[in-house]
Amino acid sequence: MRYLPLTQPDREAMLTVIGAQDIDALFADVPESARLTAPIAGLPNHSPEMHVERALGVMAAKNLSAGTVPFFVGGGAYKHHVPATVDAIIQRGEFLTAYTPYQPEIAQGTLQVLFEFQSQVARLLGMDVANASMYDGSTAMTEAVFMARRVTRRSKALVSAGVHPHYVGVLKTLTRFTDDEIATSTPDLTPGKPGDDLDALIAAIDAQTSCVIVQNPNIFGHIADLAPLADACHKAGALLITVVTEVVSLGAIKSPGEMGADIVVGEGQSIGNGLNFGGPYLGLFACRDKHVRQMPGRLCGETVDADGKRGFVLTLSTREQHIRREKATSNICTNSGLCALAFSVHLTLLGEKGLRNLAGLNHARAVQLAERLGRIPGVELITTSFFNEFALKLPTEARSVIRKLAERQILGGISMGRLYPGIAALENGMIIAVTETATDEDFDAFEDALDEVLA
């Protein structure tokens, strides 16, 4: 077996050194009734590389990959072009096959990358300090709610109707057995401001409110000025948590930090990471300096070595589970190190100028497509202020439209019925994302097909 270096003579020589008669002697602690005497039945035996490659290749070929068709699906995961350099760097064995940098003298590569990543994320989100990444955006949002509870010593969270329903689902799951109160509402498709309930949220803030959670751009692509909401939160002693699921937007629109957010969480997949059918992705998490000791997740900090040379270490680990055990700020152990590296490399290649150009291109292309589709008879453009994603109201149920588009080899967006099953008022809604990867030919094909399906 190609991954196992020991030869049979090696094994015998080693057993002699150990003083064991055979390998079974090393498993003597296993109760006899649980010992397996042969390979587990029902599974194939080992395979040559070429056979594995063939079998998995057949499975992969059954999927319609985004790069081969007109593609307009978003909803928290976006198809952006990832430069070839990104993948070449994350495949370097020194990054790929390293562990968490617990021995900093021989992990300065990972540590400096994390320090740079934290710096890039803090600037992008307009915040003081960012951590070294979390599992994904949805789990980062739940961690933010728990952090707000620690900071304010209150337990009522108000969730905007514009927050991604999967994110809300995760929050509900993880607060099911706690005494947190999670106030949610169902979005409506008011033209011009779908899912925008900021005035209602402001009215609902009271002395028990720990935080208000709002997504910008929201699940329908709508963007809003959060400054009035931030003011209202701060007057009441509550924190504003802002969720960003499309971070490329921050090259074009004001950052949550500039609008007064106290905690910003996000899904960083858009930069440097492929779609990967939903994972692995990376959660972004940033806050104000004054709250850093209540922050979850790993943090990398600058220091010096015994010779006075600059170096980096994991720091403030007294917040974390391996030290604090049941009193830790979170049970999280891993971050998304390699995805954070990919994010950082891509953002380094872009720089400020490239990010602004990329964001400008996404926006302009989305405006072009929104205006074209909005002219199709019976179709209404619901989201009028947006970055690269918008909602349409169709004259018919959107799930079947998406299906018919897929039959025509067009991945045309997300039906709201999939995200909000059982809510009749949303069944005709469709969410469409446009990135720099979509061509004019893709636009033509999409418009023609939608026209045809709706006719």
Partner 1 sequence: MNTPQNPSPMNSVGRVTRIAGTGAVTETYTGNRGLMLEEPLLFERGALDRCGVDLPEIPVVQDRLAGLGRADPIGLPGLSEPETVRHYTRLSRQNYGIDLGIFPLGSCTMKHNPRLNEKMARLPGFADIHPLQPQSTVQGALQLIDTLATWLKTLTGMPEVAMSPKAGAHGELCGMLAIRAALEARGDARSVVLVPESAHGTNPATAAFCGYAVENIPANARGRVDTEALKARLGPDVAAVMITNPNTCGLFEPDMIDICAAVHAAGAFVYCDGANFNAIVGRVRPGDLGIDAMHINLHKTFSTPHGGGGPGSGPVVFSDALAPFAPLPFVRKTKDGFELVEEMQARNSKDHDRSFGRMVAFHGQMGMFVRALAYMMSHGADGLRQVAEDAVLNANYILASLKDVYTAPFAASGPCMHEALFSDDFLAGTGLTTLDLAKAMIDEGFHPMTMYFPLVVHGAMLVEPTETESKASLDQLIGAMRSIAEKMLADPDAWRTSPHLAPRRRLDETGAARKPILNFKDLETAAA
424 binds partner 1 (CB under 8 A): no
355 binds partner 1 (CB under 8 A): yes
CA-wise closest residue to 175 among 185, 167, 187:
167
Shortest distance, position 237 Cβ to partner 1, whole Å = 25
191 binds partner 1 (CB under 8 A): no
Shortest distance, position 188 Cβ to partner 1, whole Å = 19
| Contact window for partner 1 (CB under 8 A) among 147-155, 200-208, 229-237, 244-252 | 244-252
Scan residues 101-120 and list those touching partner 1 (CB under 8 A): 101, 103-110, 112-113, 115-116, 118-120
- Collect all residues with Cβ–Cβ distance below 8 Å to 393 and sequence separation of at least 6: 189, 191, 379, 380, 382, 428, 429, 430
- Three-state DSSP at 165 gives helix
Angle between helices 440-454 and 337-374 (to 10 degrees): 60
CA-wise closest residue to 119 among 299, 263, 374:
299
The residue with tokens 């999670």 is: 182
Scan residues 260-319 and list those touching partner 1 (CB under 8 A): 267, 274-280, 282, 292, 298-307, 309, 311-313, 315-318
Scan residues 378-407 and list those touching partner 1 (CB under 8 A): 384-387, 402-403, 406
| Contact window for partner 1 (CB under 8 A) among 4-12, 152-160, 204-212, 447-455 | 4-12
Site string for partner 1, 44-63 (x = CB under 8 A): xxxx-x-xxx-xxxxxxxxx
Please give the single-letter amino acid code of residue 455: A
> Up-side HSE of residue 360: CA atoms within 13 Å toward CB?
7
21 binds partner 1 (CB under 8 A): no
Site string for partner 1, 425-444 (x = CB under 8 A): -----------x--------
- How far apart CA 76 and CA 165 sit, in angstroms, is 10
- How far apart CA 176 and CA 303 sit, in angstroms, is 41
153 binds partner 1 (CB under 8 A): no
Nearer to partner 1, 166 or 376 (CB): 166
Shortest distance, position 200 Cβ to partner 1, whole Å = 19
Nearer to partner 1, 52 or 183 (CB): 52
190 binds partner 1 (CB under 8 A): no
CA-wise closest residue to 184 among 173, 198, 195, 168:
168
- 99: phi then psi, degrees, rounded to nearest 5: -100, 175
Q: Residue 399's beta-bridge partner residues? A: none
- How far apart CA 211 and CA 262 sit, in angstroms, is 9
129 binds partner 1 (CB under 8 A): yes
195 binds partner 1 (CB under 8 A): no
130 binds partner 1 (CB under 8 A): yes
